[in-house]
A and B are shown apart, each in its own frame.
Chain A
Amino acid sequence: MYRFATYVWRDTIRWKRAPLNVLSTLVMPATWLIFMGLVMPVKYDNYLDFVTPGILVLTMLTSSLGAGSSIMFDKTLGYLNKFLALPSPRESILIGKIVFITIRGLLQSTVILIISILIGATIYPISTYIGMYLLLTLFGISISALGTTVALYLDNHDSYAAFQAFVSMPLYFASTALISLDEMPTALRYIAEFNPLTYAIDGLRDIAKGIIPTFSICFLIILAILIMIICSWKFRSITIG
């Protein structure tokens, strides 16, 4: 199973050697944070503290959905076929992709946390940040596994891009990222209550308040396991064994 690390190594080098990629993955979320945190009208004590979890989760969402386009590239450019003919376990391709994408997302999250502190967010104790990272990791795994699964079903970049657009913005606005659940219009609330983003975001907010969000964590763990099962099943079924 250690071979997934080899795939992580490959993706990391490819990513590092494209300076524009690095810049955009790190600068984009920072821009969102600065706009949303500072420009939005303030009726909360500290809107920045309220909105940072939302930005973290949005970043993780966008970044993790990238797992799908990454595997789509490997598929359409023929890398995947080469990998599938290798004796190393096929699941390691999948795990490598999810691990790389999740780590990259956590890196972006770190940038956001640092900037949020620089522009006036509350500084929490270390244990709070550890909790946040754990939750973000769970969320990242679920979403990157989801992206990968969808990309395995689709056969070109356009359809995947459509899926990405179709999923990310609605999920984001129908979540508690920008306003809390009890301020939402009822219709939106129904969606928000089943939205994994809500669980991730509210979970982060609970952690910030020092509460352990047991329900959110369970929800995300079950989601992650479920999607991983579907994903590896799909992955097996596109080829033999």
Chain B
Amino acid sequence: MTDIFTSKLSKSYEDVLAVDSLDLRINGEIYGLLGPNGSGKTTTVSMLTTLLSPSSGSAQICGHDVTTEPKAVRKCISYVPQYMAVDIRLTGRENIDFYAKLYGIRDKTERKRRVNYALDIMDLNERADDLTKTYSGGMQRRLELAQALTHQPKVLFLDEPTVGLDVIARKMIWEHISNLKKSGITIFVTTHQMEEAERYCDRVGILKKGVVIKEGTPSYLKSALKSIITIKSDGKMPNILPDNVDFIGNENGSVVYASDNGADILPSLIKKYDEAGIHVYSSMVRDPTLEDIYLMSVGTEAADTEQFNRAQIRRIIMKG
């Protein structure tokens, strides 16, 4: 049985097709859904967690259809949404206990055992009895994971679990996620963090305007590119590029190109810069990363930033 199975899964809002004919087969792995703002990640997760009904197509979680057997689906999943929602006037322990109760664990000793286990796994023991109000963002995120774990789900959905966290907190979350996979949980995670996806996801799908345009293991996707050239210049780019050189995007003020053989082609590329009268400060040839693949696939202009900001700001205002 496939843990997550979708067939032509689609969702349209009034005038936008947010998710377009998604076919997923996910089993016993960490699957990362990558995509710019507004590409349909949250919409996909919402359909898979029975929060939103698909416009067409179907999806099964652990063999249960999300539309016809939503209750059975909810029994085998846990879901941590994109925007954090822990009760700040409850302590960490109370927050977890609350979910354990809602998951239907009525036996007190069993519940206590599960709550302690979840606190342990997420390293929250020391602060367990403090109000969540006093937790940092990273701790609140771990608390949400702990809530999701009291249930011992078969499939765990995480919508951007590391957004807004510092490097160490992010690493910690991902280590936890990896450990969960080892204990047999299938994990469906969305993220913007390419480095993290490359490092921790077994497979990734790149979503653009609701369509998965690339899917596979990070190394398989990277094998599509031989090498990457980055050039830092005084800003412009030559109009004519040598054959076999593709423009991918901009990254930290450098222009990024892909080529079959970067080291050989670099001199001719720099020559084009010289001919165009553009001053090259530095150049580099390196192996491709998932981020390069991502930039190449979705294009740098794809981010729906305005939408993202509005939603973010509204949250911040509401919480404060």
Contact = CB atoms under 8 A, between A and B. Distances in A.
Interface of A: 3, 6, 9-10, 13-14, 17-18, 76-79, 81-88, 239-241
Contact of A241 (B46, B50, B75, B151): B50
Given A13-B94, A240-B67, A82 B85 contact: yes
Given A85-B79, A240-B67, A79 B85 contact: yes
A77 B103 contact: no
Nearest to A78: B85
A18 B75 contact: no
Given A78-B81, A86-B74, A3 B104 contact: yes
A85 B101 contact: no
Contacts of A76: 318
Given A78-B85, A84-B51, A6 B70 contact: no
Interface in B16-54: 46, 49-53
B85 A85 contact: no
A136 to B, nearest CB: 28
A86 B77 CA distance: 8
B84 A239 contact: no
B66 interface: yes
Contacts of A240: 50, 52-53, 66-67, 70
A68 B53 CA distance: 24
Contacts of A14: 87, 89-90
Nearest to B314: A76
Contacts of A10: 87, 90, 98
Given A10-B90, A241-B70, A3 B101 contact: yes
A60 B318 CA distance: 27
Contacts of A77: 83, 85, 315, 318-319
Contacts of B313: none
A10 B94 CA distance: 9
24 contacts: A6-B98, A9-B98, A10-B87, A10-B90, A10-B98, A13-B90, A13-B94, A14-B87, A17-B89, A18-B89, A77-B85, A77-B315, A77-B318, A79-B87, A83-B102, A85-B74, A85-B77, A87-B74, A87-B103, A239-B50, A239-B52, A240-B53, A240-B67, A241-B70
A237 to B, nearest CB: 10
Contacts of A88: 102-104
A83 B78 CA distance: 11
B154 to A, nearest CB: 12
A87 B153 CA distance: 11
A86 B103 contact: yes
Interface of B: 46, 49-53, 66-67, 70-71, 74-75, 77-79, 81, 83-85, 87, 89-90, 94, 98-99, 101-104, 131, 151, 315, 318-319
Contacts of A13: 89-90, 94
Nearest to B101: A6
A17 B310 CA distance: 31
Contacts of A86: 74, 99, 102-103
Given A87-B74, A241-B71, A81 B81 contact: yes
Given A10-B90, A82-B81, A87 B75 contact: yes
A6 B103 CA distance: 11
A55 B319 CA distance: 33
Contacts of B74: 85-87
Question: Which one of B78, B99, B102 has the highest number of Cβ atoms from chain A below 10 Å of its Cβ?
Answer: B102
Contacts of B318: 76-77
The 9 closest A-B pairs by CB, nearest first: A241-B70, A78-B85, A85-B79, A17-B89, A87-B74, A6-B101, A87-B75, A240-B53, A85-B49
A85 B51 contact: yes
Given A78-B85, A87-B104, 9 more contacts: A13-B90, A76-B318, A78-B83, A85-B51, A86-B102, A87-B103, A88-B104, A239-B51, A241-B71
Contacts of B70: 240-241
Nearest to A93: B102
A86 B81 CA distance: 12
A84 B131 CA distance: 24
Contacts of A79: 85, 87
B305 to A, nearest CB: 21
Nearest to B74: A87
B81 A3 contact: no
Question: Which one of A13, A239, A241 has the highest number of Cβ atoms from chain B below 10 Å of its Cβ?
Answer: A241
Contacts of B104: 3, 87-88
A85 B50 contact: yes
Nearest to A239: B51
B283 to A, nearest CB: 46
A13 B90 CA distance: 7
Nearest to B319: A77
Nearest to B45: A85
Contacts of B52: 239-240
A207 to B, nearest CB: 37
